[in-house]
Amino acid sequence: MEQLKVVLEKSSYPINIGSGIIQEDNIFWPLRPGNQAMLVTNKTLANLLKDNVFFHLRKSGIKVDQVILSDGEQFKTLNEMEVIISALLEKKHSRDTTLIALGGGVIGDLTGFSASIYQRGVRFIQIPTTLLSQVDASIGGKTAVNHLLGKNMVGSFWQPASVIIDIDFLKTLPRNELISGMAEVIKYAVIFDEYFFSWLEENIEKILSLDKSVMLYCIKKCCDLKSKIIILDEREKKFRALLNFGHTYGHAIEAHAGYGSWLHGEAISVGMIMASRTSELLGYLKKSDYQRILSLLKRAGLPVKGPKNMSAASYLPYMMRDKKVVLGEMRLVLPIKIGQAEIYSGIDKNIILNAIKDSQ
The yes-or-no answer on residue 184 being catalytic is yes
Q: What is the pLDDT of residue 259?
A: 81
pLDDT score for 237: 84
- pLDDT, one tens digit per residue, over 271-325 is 999 999 999 999 999 999 999 999 999 999 999 999 999 999 999 999 998 777 7
| pLDDT number for residue 236 | 84
Model confidence pLDDT, tens digit, residues 19-37: 999 999 999 999 999 999 9
Q: What are phi and psi of 49, to 5 degrees?
A: -125, -20
List alpha helices for 233-320, DSSP H: 247-257, 264-281, 287-299, 315-320
Q: How many helices (H) and strands (E) does the chain have?
A: 13, 11
Task: Decide if pLDDT at 204 tops 70.
Answer: yes
Write down the catalytic residue from 234, 236, 266, 280. 236
Query: Which residue is catalytic, options 93, 226, 256, 323?
Result: 226
pLDDT digits (tens, 9 = 90+) for 93-141: 999 999 999 999 999 999 999 999 999 999 999 999 999 999 999 999 9
Catalytic residue check, 240:
yes
Share of the chain above pLDDT 90, in %: 88
Using pLDDT thresholds of 50, 70 and 90, give the confidence band for residue 178: very high
Topology given in CATH for the domain delimited by 175-358: Dehydroquinate synthase-like, alpha domain (1.20.1090)
The single residue of 56, 206, 240, 286 carrying the catalytic annotation is 240
Q: What is the pLDDT of residue 72?
A: 85
CA 284 to chain centre: 27
Q: Say which of 123, 187, 221, 251 is annotated catalytic.
A: 251
Verify whether residue 329 is a known catalytic residue: no
For residues 262 and 110, give the distance between their C-alpha atoms in angstroms, rounded to a whole number. Answer: 19
pLDDT in tens, 42-94: 999 999 888 999 999 999 999 999 999 999 888 999 999 999 999 999 999 99
Question: Do 55 and 46 form a contact (C-beta atoms < 8 A)?
Answer: no
Domain boundaries, the chain: 2-172, 175-358
Active site residue 264: yes
pLDDT band at 3 (very low <50, low <70, confident <90, very high): very high
Give pLDDT, residue 304. Answer: 97
Residue 172 in contact with residue 121, Cβ under 8 Å? no
Cα 35 from Cα 161, distance rounded (Å): 14
First to last CA, the chain: 43
Mean pLDDT computed over every residue of the chain: 95
Could you say which of 50, 220, 221, 247 is catalytic? Answer: 247
**Could you tell me if 8 and 159 are in contact, meaning their C-beta atoms sit under 8 angstroms apart?**
yes
What confidence score (pLDDT) does residue 93 get?
Answer: 98
SS3 153: strand
Q: Of 73, 80, 177, 184, which residue is the catalytic one?
A: 184
Residues 6+ apart with CB under 8 A from 306: 249, 253, 270, 274, 356, 359, 360
Residue 350 has pLDDT above 90, yes or no: yes
251 included as an active-site residue: yes
Q: Catalytic: 226?
A: yes
> Active site includes 221?
no
Whether the CB-CB separation of 103 and 166 falls below 8 Å is answered with no
CB 239 within 8 A of CB 232: yes
Q: What is the pTM of this model?
A: 0.94
Which one is catalytic: 50, 76, 123, 142? 142
Question: DSSP character for 135?
Answer: I
CATH fold group of domain 2-172: Rossmann fold (3.40.50)
Confidence check: pLDDT of 13 > 90 = yes
Burial class (CB in 10 A: 0-12, 13-18, 19+), 65: middle
| String of DSSP letters for 172-235 | GS-HHHHHHHHHHHHHHHHHH-HHHHHHHHHHHHHHHTT-HHHHHHHHHHHHHHHHHHHHH-TT
> What pLDDT band is residue 148 in, cutting at 50, 70 and 90?
confident
The mean pLDDT value for 164-184 works out to: 96
- CA-angle at 137, arms to 213 and 207, nearest 5°: 25
Note the pLDDT of residue 327.
Answer: 61
| Collapsed DSSP state (helix, strand, coil) of residue 349 | helix
